[in-house]
């Protein structure tokens, strides 16, 4: 059972009960398939993402081409996103994310990224690195786990001299590593998180339920947690309030892969 996702559903129903139903009528479903390598330090990003659109929009990543939008569109569009039942986790998360987008809570810091894709990739990694280093200073540690590999994050943390261990399920990354750092199989994530001082965790861990395991491991090890969330970017406040995640870096669409302005919102649990 995906405990985090179940709790997010329960909280969404309670927090939106008195809001205007019109805000939550599903108006559109989108799937974007992409193969993209933003710069030399990044992995080949070979994914899809699903967007659910009400008056707001929510997003979840998925395996490339795995979500059949046509299967859901005729049935779902026009219904209240809060009450749509779906067995596909990526679709379910996108729907739930658009519900949370309607709640509208401020974050602590907003960074607008502009310019070319390659430049935004580097700046994004610098901002993530700043958040990692801030938590490391609080722990006096140097060990970082990156769960769900982003090559630019790995490269940035290497430049800052931290000890980094990465985990992922991509067989190519497990075989070859990235930027000189070995990548361990995702099944080893709980042990790696438990042994780290700070874990930098992708929001996609919510899709397969492994975020539950990450939270359990962090409690056992006293590990500080950062979630970088393109998937479920609007869950930031609940991640911090309910689940004890220290920092959430939220990146709603349009994310850095696209031209124009990308907005990163950073929320710290200690400010709530």
Q: How far apart are CA 108 and CA 162, in angstroms?
A: 26
What CATH class does 3-101 carry?
A: alpha beta
pLDDT at 122: 97
- CA 58 vs. chain centroid, Å, equals 12
Where along the chain do the CATH 3.40.50.11590 domains lie? 109-271
Sign of CA dihedral 2, 227, 203, 144: negative
Q: Which residues pair with 263 in a beta bridge?
A: 112
Give the CA diameter of the chain: 54
What pLDDT tens digit does each residue of the chain (272 aa) get?
A: 799 999 999 999 999 999 999 999 999 999 999 999 999 999 999 999 999 999 999 999 999 999 999 999 999 999 999 999 999 999 999 999 999 999 989 999 999 999 999 999 999 999 999 999 999 999 999 999 999 999 999 999 999 999 999 999 999 999 999 999 999 999 999 999 999 999 999 999 999 999 999 999 999 999 999 999 999 999 999 999 999 999 999 999 999 999 999 999 999 999 99
pLDDT at 1: 72
For residue 80, give the DSSP letter: B
Q: Which residues lie closer than 8 Å to 47 by C-beta, 6 or more apart?
A: 33, 34, 61, 62, 63, 64
- DSSP SS3 for 214: helix
Q: How far is CA 73 from CA 52, 95, 111, 251, 253, in A?
A: 10, 12, 34, 25, 20
* Residue at token pair 């502009």: 114
* Residue at token pair 């931290």: 162
pLDDT at 271: 97
Where along the chain do the CATH 3.30.390.10 domains lie? 3-101
Q: Tell me if 267 sits within 8 A of 128, measured CB to CB.
A: no
pLDDT at 44: 96
pLDDT at 255: 96
pLDDT at 251: 98
pLDDT at 23: 95
The CATH number of the domain covering residues in 109-271: 3.40.50.11590
Q: Tell me if 153 sits within 8 A of 146, measured CB to CB.
A: yes
What's this model's pTM, rounded to 2 decimal places? Answer: 0.97
């Amino acid at each position: 059972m995906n405990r985090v996702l179940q709790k997010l559903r329960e909280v969404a129903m309670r927090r939106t009960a008195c809001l205007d139903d019109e805000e939550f009528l599903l108006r559109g479903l989108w799937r974007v398939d992409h193969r993209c390598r933003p710069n030399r330090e990044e992995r080949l990003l070979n994914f899809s993402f699903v967007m659910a659109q009400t008056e707001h929009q929510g997003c979840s990543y998925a395996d490339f081409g795995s979500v059949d939008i046509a299967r859901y569109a005729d049935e779902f569009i026009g219904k209240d996103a809060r009450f749509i039942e779906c067995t596909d986790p990526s679709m379910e998360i996108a729907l739930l994310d658009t519900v949370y987008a309607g709640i509208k809570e401020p974050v602590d810091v907003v960074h607008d990224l502009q310019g070319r894709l390659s430049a935004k990739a580097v700046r994004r990694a610098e901002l993530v690195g700043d958040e990692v280093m801030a938590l490391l200073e609080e722990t006096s540690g140097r060990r970082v786990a990156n769960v769900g590999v982003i090559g630019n994050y790995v490269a940035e943390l290497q430049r800052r001299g931290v000890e980094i261990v990465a985990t992922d399920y991509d067989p190519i990354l497990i075989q070859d590593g990235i930027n000189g750092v070995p990548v361990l199989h995702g099944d080893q994530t709980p042990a790696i998180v438990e042994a780290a001082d700070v874990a930098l965790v992708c929001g996609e861990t919510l899709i397969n339920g492994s975020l539950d395991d990450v939270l359990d491991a962090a409690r056992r090890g006293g590990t500080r947690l950062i979630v970088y969330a393109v998937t479920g970017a609007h869950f930031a406040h609940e991640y911090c309030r309910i689940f004890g995640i220290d920092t959430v870096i939220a990146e709603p669409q349009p994310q850095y892969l696209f031209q124009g302005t990308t907005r990163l919102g950073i929320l710290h649990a200690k400010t709530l």
